[in-house]
Amino acid sequence: SVSDDMGIGQRWELITPEVDYISTMAYPSHYAKYSFGIAVPDAHPYEVIRGTILDAQKKDAALHAQGIKTAVIRPWYQDFTASYLPKGEWIRYTGIQVLDQVRAGRELGIDSFLLWDPRNNFSIDAWIKY
């Protein structure tokens, strides 16, 4: 949902009219320093998800203004600790961080999402509170 394709050849404006659902990998750990003005994106899951979805919704609104339909946004949220990042650029993820991402999405009308943990060790405590 950033302004360019980050060199991976994926342009929101070209993809969203062609599919029914679009699942952006909105993992805070995958954002560069100072994305959305945040020095350590991994440490601010709510703000990163909010910025990601707002960017996507802005792009969708521009397409809607042209009469172009867009996909339902169903983002992937981070449910893993990105300890592979340099020291000081990651935090331990628990149910709190997962729920922060869910809250950011829900506040913007996104009620459907997917979770990713490469070890399939999901934060069950998040779902007890959800």
What the chain holds in terms of domains, given with CATH numbers, is: 12-129 (3.20.20.70)
Contact indicator for 21, 44 with CB cutoff of 8 Å: no
Q: Is the pLDDT of residue 33 over 50?
A: yes
Q: Alpha helix locations (H) across the chain?
A: 12-15, 45-65, 95-107, 124-129
Q: Which residues contact 69 (CB under 8 A, 6 or more apart)?
A: 17, 63
pLDDT digits (tens, 9 = 90+) for 61-97: 999 999 999 999 999 999 999 999 999 999 999 999 9
Return the residue matching tokens 């950011």: 104
Quote the pTM value: 0.89
